[in-house]
Structure 1
């Protein structure tokens, strides 16, 4: 493929923030009167949206008129706690060095974060841990359907004026792989995030990597259309 854009997931791919997500979900569940069971809290590693989390917890549609107030309370409790108590997130080993090398070798290659998080939360986290400077765009999914729907990837490609077929999606869950496949772009799955290798490889991503640093070789093995 001719590569012009690399889209990278945030939680579980660039950053290990699972403890903070889990803590926020425990508070959000308690706020709507649901016991934060181990089974529910385990979803924190699955890359599910707040809407999906609510559906798992209550077996109810958060968009139903009778559920909107309760769902809003759930979201507000999560966001409030997450913003005030982000303290455990850490950038995975090799991420900074890898991004430095990619930016140095291919300065015109577009880089974006594509996450099911809200954009404001994603940008705040990326800025706090020193990642924001590497990316042309940090985009959440509040404007579009969430991964595994491909809408977020298409939105990023449009905003960066890049054909989606010249893009690569890097992520740690089935949502990332399926979104890439449905969008018609390349799919790279990391094995150190929320989904174990044995599970994510069943979705047949184009590449599986055990270390983020392997992304350099993947980019180097393509024809980069925006090579500087």
Structure 2
């Protein structure tokens, strides 16, 4: 197996504690349409991009006017009501520094829209880390499809088996598997559905302490 040369980092749940916040924003966006969607239903799907989550919940296509309204409503609610309360997961800066000190290339690969990335990196205490990123805005389909992972691998100029994905939902694992990339799963996002992951750690701080074990 080739040695690891690069790492793709998810943001939501992995670097910041935003998964519940996203779920609350989605519930409000559905509510704006007169739809009573339980928090638990939405929470189980966080990690998907909106292009996947809305059709999964409502059974409608992306060409639907309701799809566009719900997706925009989620973003509005998240930025206005949730983003300021999002906090960094433990050890984000230590993890990025540890990866770079070992000569690894690091890139963000997230199902979030590009317009949200800078705010999320600020909450992760990584605004000054100069991290490149690929987002749902760059590809046709978000996680659990492999497009974001494949785009990140291409930007790293590496082969998939030289790259690790660090994520916190089963959709990270599924997307990475489809792209031929191994996943390191962090449970700090509140999900334990890590079947298929290469390794499991608690949070960025825990992973940072075990980088030499990978």
Same fold (TM over 0.5): yes
Distance in 1 (CA, whole Å) between partners of 2:174 and 2:59 is 24
Distance in 2 (CA, whole Å) between partners of 1:40 and 1:111 is 33
> SS state of the match for residue 91, structure 1?
coil
Residue 98 of structure 2 is matched in structure 1 by 101
Distance in 1 (CA, whole Å) between partners of 2:184 and 2:24 is 29
Residue 177 of structure 1 is matched in structure 2 by 173
Residue 129 of structure 2 is matched in structure 1 by 134
Structure 1 position 158 matched with structure 2 position 150 = no
Question: Where does the alignment leave 5 or more consecutive residues of structure 1 unmatched?
Answer: 223-228
Residue 49 of structure 1 is matched in structure 2 by 49
Bigger radius of gyration among the two: 1
Contact 2:54–2:71 (Cα < 8 Å) also in 1: no
Residue 77 of structure 2 is matched in structure 1 by 81
Distance in 1 (CA, whole Å) between partners of 2:206 and 2:38 is 36
> SS state of the match for residue 7, structure 2?
strand
Question: Structure 1's 55 and 96: CA in aligned 2 closer, same or farther, altered over 3 A?
Answer: same
Residue 18 of structure 1 is matched in structure 2 by 19
Question: Where does the alignment leave 5 or more consecutive residues of structure 2 unmatched?
Answer: none
Contact 2:96–2:106 (Cα < 8 Å) also in 1: no
Residue 59 of structure 1 is matched in structure 2 by 59
Distance in 2 (CA, whole Å) between partners of 1:5 and 1:28 is 36
Structure 1 position 91 matched with structure 2 position 83 = no
Residue 225 of structure 1 is matched in structure 2 by none
> SS state of the match for residue 123, structure 1?
helix
TM-score when scaled to structure 2?
A: 0.86
> SS state of the match for residue 188, structure 2?
coil
Give the paired residue count.
211
Distance in 2 (CA, whole Å) between partners of 1:181 and 1:165 is 10
Structure 1 position 216 matched with structure 2 position 211 = no
Distance in 2 (CA, whole Å) between partners of 1:11 and 1:178 is 16
Distance in 1 (CA, whole Å) between partners of 2:185 and 2:124 is 23
4+ residue runs over 6 A deviation: none
Residue 190 of structure 2 is matched in structure 1 by 194
Distance in 2 (CA, whole Å) between partners of 1:35 and 1:174 is 25
Deviations 1:22-65 (A, max 9, x none): 33112211222212423434336x312223332243222x22x4
> SS state of the match for residue 130, structure 1?
coil
